[in-house]
Structure 1
């Protein structure tokens, strides 16, 4: 079978023919239709996160078909098998059915990215009319978070990120009331200006200096939920800025499979009642190098999808 293989650290995946894996007890063989790439895949290639031995097949999530024809989402494929390949092996408990009305790209975006937005927003307990900031709004997680915040009762939702074109599309689609382009000078001042009387809830996908700026733009009683480290692994917090506010670190990937599946099913319920839309950029398997280059460069619209079967 064909598979996208990472041959060296910090390399570019190449398409190779490799033998299929056996199907150990408790796992499923899945014919892959499409696979998703995310920052975690890039961090693995750099040796920073859950490092597999090279060479290995990239990716860990996607949509495919079981031998009986059922279409499913899969996450956490066994490390040796990967996801950007024609067939993969996945533990049975990580194989989740998806409804026919949800397309492949959306199903992939709703899983890791979508539940990554849902769980911290549920914990933040958005109250009707509250002012919400999504920090790192242009990616798939941020796009879903903007829409979920509105569905949960937010009165005003603001998206912040570095890429102006992607931000403007969020406003044109009507999922952000206002946008803030980060990195143009005084981020704290720009966020305060957009916040009105201060943000009540911040979903922070970036951490580092942008999170410091966002905290200074919050209202008393604010809840700031940090879930990513794209802009830095540390931040400096003044007690004055934290006074009468709460700052949580929230993750979903290490939760039990039952918790993650329940969150995914809650998200599918949202998708049935409101049209959750996520931008995606699709590459064919033959252009996996282009998909990887786009992941490295950043600034791609939404989720990067590798279409394995046309």
Structure 2
């Protein structure tokens, strides 16, 4: 079968790859679309450890089982992955999906969607509270801004470096105000739109922007951190933290049943309340270009379809 393959140097190329065969507790899936996310790029760069052998990348996708059932899948069994004609997946990571949502939305609402939903649910947003989405222009941020509103936020502020995409979020009604980061004083930029202080921060990027965000909160605030794109550490004083909480939230490490239930809630939001996310689609034959696009500008969800 044809598949994308990451070699030991981290480079991707389309090539022939052995077919997966059914194993106990796993099923073969005919892949229709695959998603590429930041984690896939980090793995190919050796962030999680040396690349010991060539493997097929792509951590999630949509396809069909032998009986024709349409499903979402994640966490293919190594060395198989989503960017291939077929893949092998553990049964607990195969979730039936409705026919009234397209592949790109089903993929975007899974890893990215649960990455936004779980921390915002755990923050227990009270009706009318002010929510800051830090690192808002990627898929997690786009979804998080909409979820915050659906969970009762009275005011949603989107902050990131990309002015154009932030303005698009505001024009779509997903954000009431925006803050441009990286143009000088992030503390001042966030405080200027804080309206007295944020109650909840969904922090997707960590590092210095998270420090500035915490200083723009009010007493009782909850910062929920889920990513490290802007740096793996923060430096906060005790004064910054008084009467505030800062939680590192893990989503992908949770049991499959918990993640599947969260995904079900997201699907319901998409079907009944219009939750959506921007995506960029590429043909399977253009997988190398899609990989480069995600590496160069990781704002929309990259989808590779056959």
TM-score normalized by the length of structure 2: 0.98
2:102 matched residue in structure 1: 103
Residue 198 of structure 2 contacts residue 218 of structure 2 at CA under 8 Å; is this kept in 1? yes
Question: Which of 287, 301, 305 does residue 303 from structure 1 map onto?
Answer: 301
- Give the distance between the partners of 1:104 and 1:144, measured in 2 at CA: 16
Give the structure 2 partner of residue 31 of structure 1. 30
Q: Which residue does the alignment assign to 2:149?
A: 150
The 2-side partners of 1:40 and 1:284 are apart by: 21
Matches of 1:89 and 1:246, distance apart in 2: 41
Distance in 2 separating the partners of 1:55 and 1:68? 30
2:40 partner SS: helix
In 2, Cα distance between equivalents of 1:93 and 1:269: 20
* Aligned 8 A contact 2:205 2:230 in 1: yes
Question: Partners of 1:54 and 1:276 in 2: how far apart?
Answer: 39
Deviation per residue, 1:105-135 (Å, 9 max, x gap):
0100110010111110011000011000000
Give, in angstroms, the shift of residue 299 of structure 1: 4.6
CA deviation after TM superposition for structure 1 residue 51, in Å: 5.5
What does residue 70 of structure 2 align with? 71
Contact 1:285 1:306 in 2 (8 A): yes
In 2, Cα distance between the equivalents of 1:94 and 1:212? 36
Distance 2:269 2:293 in 1: 30
- In 2, Cα distance between the equivalents of 1:63 and 1:252? 20
Secondary structure, aligned partner of 1:43: helix
Q: Distance in 2 between matches of 1:164 and 1:20?
A: 45
Does 2:8 correspond to 1:8?
Answer: yes
For 1:195, what is the secondary structure of its paired residue? coil
Residue 54 of structure 1: CA displacement?
Answer: 2.7
Residues 216 and 241 of structure 1 are in contact (CA less than 8 Å); yes or no, is this contact kept in structure 2? Answer: yes
Question: Does the CA contact (< 8 Å) of 1:30 and 1:90 recur in 2?
Answer: yes
Q: How far, CA to CA, are the matches of 2:253 and 2:235 in structure 1?
A: 26
Note the C-alpha offset of 1:49.
2.1
Instruction: Give SS of 1:271's match.
Output: helix
Deviations 1:54-109 (A, max 9, x none): 31111120000111111100001112111100000000110001111111001001
Distance 1:123 1:271 in 2: 20
Equivalent residue of 1:56, what SS? coil
Which stretches in structure 2 are left out of the alignment for 5+ residues?
A: none
Partner deviation per Cα, 1:17-66 (whole Å, 9 max, x = no partner): 11202211111111100000001001101111266533111112000011
d(CA) in 2 for partners of 1:97, 1:52:
32
How far does residue 284 in structure 1 lie from its aligned partner after superposition? 1.0
Deviation at 1:198, TM superposition (A): 0.5
What are the equivalent positions in structure 2 for 1:131-280 lying under 5 Å apart? 131-280=130-279
Shift of 1:272: 2.5
Contact 1:163 1:299 in 2 (8 A): no
SS in structure 1 opposite 2:110?
Answer: helix
User: Residue 57 of structure 1 aligns to a residue in which SS?
Assistant: coil
> How far is 1:10 from its partner?
3.4
Count of residue correspondences: 306
